[in-house]
Amino acid sequence: MQNLRQIPSLMGKPQPHLAGEPILALRDVSARYNGRFALQDISFDLIAGEQVAVVGPNGAGKSTLFKVIAGVLPSSGGEVTVAGSGPGKHICIAYVPQRSQVDWTFPVDVADVVMMGRIGRLGLFRRPKRLDWDYVHQSLAVVGMSEFAERQIGELSGGQQQRVFIARALAQEAELMLMDEPLTGLDVRSQEDIFAVLDELRARGVTVMIATHDLNLAAERFDRVMLLNGRLLGFGRSETVFTSERLLSAYGGHIRMLDTGDGTLIVNDTCCDP
Ligand code: ADP
Ligand code: MG
């Protein structure tokens, strides 16, 4: 469980951005827990402004990948660069952990959660200025949560909490957002709210990586999909990545592909928050 104040991206520092470098590049990145590999030899580049869905069965390393990129977890090999700079905690990256990993009983109101996104820009002990509150209120407006500014975060629905975290990332002026299963456990209406916010992020040129268990949403709504199972099994357009061969290799017998007449529906029975 993470206390809301401990969510790591706010510790970041501004780092130089080198012209012509991809917003994010990984080269042969590996990560281990107690000597066992959770990720091996991961290499890819992101294009600034694109929206990528990361899929793979439970234990595939999706959360580990985000933690390594965010600088929360050290890699055990390889290199991560952000706009040509690295490694380190980058303030231009916002990491939104899975909802189940956050202690929502922490007593803090919505505006304060969003203000936490400003801390890296402010320095820990400087008081927020008018400009910082402007960022907070504008960010809440972008995600449609202005009227909830004074509510306790724990009183909100899952979808609303997710939107507050996106506002926090906006207030941080994040250019790359890593969201760990933001759609898991949301009803269709709340998922649509998140997608509306993603459209707004697209208009603002923010690069987004989302971990999800929903392969169909991944295929329909994202520019590229990344199929992970310890190793990178594919990264590109869903038509080329979600082939039955690759999906079988990632999910084994836990997946079926149904021909619906006007397309293929992918059904997997691995889900979500353990
Ligand atoms: P995903 O998010 O795709 O479900 P994770 O990144 O959480 O996958 O986990 C990848 C692998 O690393 C799994 O085998 C998991 O058991 C292991 N793992 C994750 N976190 C820890 C941890 N804190 N300590 C030990 N092993 C871990
Ligand atoms: Mg995970």
Distance of alpha carbon 88 from alpha carbon 32, whole angstroms: 18
pLDDT at 89: 64
The verdict on residue 187 lying in a domain is yes
Say whether pLDDT at 4 is over 70: no
Q: Which of 64, 181, 273 to mutate to test the pocket of ligand 1 (most atoms within 8 A of CB)?
A: 64
Q: How confident is the model at residue 36 (pLDDT cuts 50, 70, 90)?
A: very high
pLDDT tens-digit map of 116-142: 888 877 776 678 888 889 999 999 999
**Lowest-confidence pick of 79-88, 99-108, 214-223:** 79-88
CATH of the domain at 250: 3.40.50.300
- Which pLDDT score is estimated for 24? 94
The pLDDT of residue 273 is 47
Q: Give distance in angstroms: CA of 188 to centre of ligand 2.
A: 21
At 168-215, the pLDDT tens digits run 999 988 899 999 999 988 899 999 999 999 999 999 999 999 999 999
| Whether residue 271 has pLDDT greater than 70 | no
Residue 231 C-alpha to ligand 2 middle, in angstroms? 15
pLDDT at 220 > cutoff 90: yes
Q: Is the CB of residue 140 less than 8 Å from the CB of residue 150?
A: no
Q: Residue 9 — very low, low, confident or very high, per pLDDT cuts 50/70/90? A: very low
218 pLDDT tier (thresholds 50, 70, 90): very high
264 or 71, greater pLDDT = 71
For residue 5, pLDDT beyond 90: no
Alpha carbon separation from 257 to 236, 248, 265 (Å, rounded): 19, 10, 6
In a domain, 72, yes or no: yes
End-to-end CA distance of the chain: 14
> Computed from CA positions of residues 92, 98, 101, 105, in that sequence, does the dihedral angle turn out positive or negative?
positive
Is the Cβ–Cβ distance between 63 and 211 less than 8 Å?
yes
In a domain, 63, yes or no: yes
Beta bridge partners of 53: 210, 225
241-256 pLDDT per residue, tens: 999 889 888 888 677 7
Domain that residue 249 falls in? 4-268
Higher-pLDDT residue of 10 and 212 is 212
The residue-averaged pLDDT of 100-108 equals 85
Task: Note whether residue 274 is domain-resident.
Answer: no
Q: Is the pLDDT of residue 10 over 50?
A: no
Best CA proximity match to 229, nearest among 52, 30, 56, 26: 56
For ligand 1, atom 14, name the residue with the nearest CA: 59
* pLDDT at res. 274: 45
Atom 5 in ligand 1: residue holding the nearest Cα: 61
The pLDDT score that the predictor gives to residue 104 is: 83
Amino acid of residue 76:
S
SS3 77: strand
Point out the ligand nearest to the CA of residue 30.
1
Report percent pLDDT > 70 for the chain. 86
The residue assigned the tokens 């998922």 is 191
Q: How far apart are CA 29 and CA 140, in angstroms?
A: 35
Q: Supply the mean pLDDT for the chain.
A: 87
Helix axes 158-171, 188-203, angle to 10 degrees: 10
Residue 8 has pLDDT above 70, yes or no: no
Which of 30, 33, 271 to mutate to test ligand 1, by most ligand atoms within 8 A of the CB atom? 33
pLDDT higher at 43 or 185? 43
The answer to whether position 273 is within a domain reads no
Residue 156 inside a domain? The answer is yes
**The pLDDT value given to residue 166:** 92
Residue 38 lies in a domain: yes
Residue 3 pLDDT class (50, 70, 90 cuts): low
Cβ of 117 closer than 6 Å to ligand 1, yes or no, is no
Query: In the chain, how many domains are there?
Result: 1
- Give just the sign of the alpha carbon dihedral 217, 29, 60, 2: negative
